[in-house]
Structure 1
Amino acid sequence: MIVTAYYESPIGRMLLAADGDALVGLWLEGQKYFGDSLHGGHREQDDFPVLLQAKDWLDRYFAGEKPRIAELKLAPAGSAFRKAVWERLCRIPYGEVTTYGQIARQIAAAYGKDSMSSQAVGGAVGHNPISVIIPCHRVVGATGSLTGYAGGIAKKIHLLTHEGAYAEGFFVPKKSTAP
């Protein structure tokens, strides 16, 4: 059974979800695909060990520390392709960004292909079920566009600024794919 708890963060309320000894979800309240992988029943339990670990990780992150993703056992549900993209997201260093195209090239190389669609990567990034910890906010468009963040562009900007990764050349496109 999935166990959930809420966490109050500087960017809003978050719902955390665990299954056994692994974190399976972390969503910003109101984000696109909120609770998408919570199929069936779940119970709320604030003191569940995995959720306490995740809350501690988030406390340290928002306090300006750089906790390692590997400190937490993560088990996001998704296709092999999505999991490959999410694993690549975990490799983006704190305070740095990458582009959808760069990830697409990395995934293509891993699969032995000549190319991979940046849009397909964008879809996987957008469906990341463990927001903030799996740092999908660190992905930007090739031209510096801040698009596609399921939690909202303002929250993406906040997270990038918090990490010292926000650059002057970043911009919000007129037609964005996220609120």
Structure 2
Amino acid sequence: MEALVYGGAASGKSRYAEDLLCALSGEGPRIYLATMEAMDEESRARVRRHRALRQNKGFSTLECPRDLDGLTIPVGSSVLLEDLGNLWANELFSPSGFDPDGALLRTAEGLERLSVQAQNLVMVSADVFGEEVPCSPETAVYLHGLARLHRLAAGRCGRVIEVVCGLPVIWKEECC
């Protein structure tokens, strides 16, 4: 089963996604695929908070801020990818240079590869499209690419859930 769980900042999307994956997963490993690069104290505190929240849920954490297309996971794994927006930003603004087309292709291929390997895949992503604000050309490329990745993920996933104020809104639910 594949699912996309998205919502605004502090909406409860991570908790919902963790609970969903725990309900879906079987005997195989439960992997938390962390994409955020903790570069300052605020981001390190966020990582510590997320680790504490999932401490007793049986996850092993695998750090993968980019190059998802080269990742191999154990057969039968249930994977929580947190978060698609971070992964996309890390690929787009990678140390190797700003290459939107290459970054989009790498990210999409990485998701495809992960989907083939995982028994269950739940992807978390942020809804950052609520307001139109002036932005740099690079930010516009980021937003456009993330929207494309959301459409790609929503098209392939059997479930698409928006979390609003901690409440799930089911946009897509395919049976079996």
- Normalised by the length of structure 2, the TM-score is 0.33
Please state which structure has a larger fraction of its residues in strand.
2
- Normalised by the length of structure 1, the TM-score is 0.33
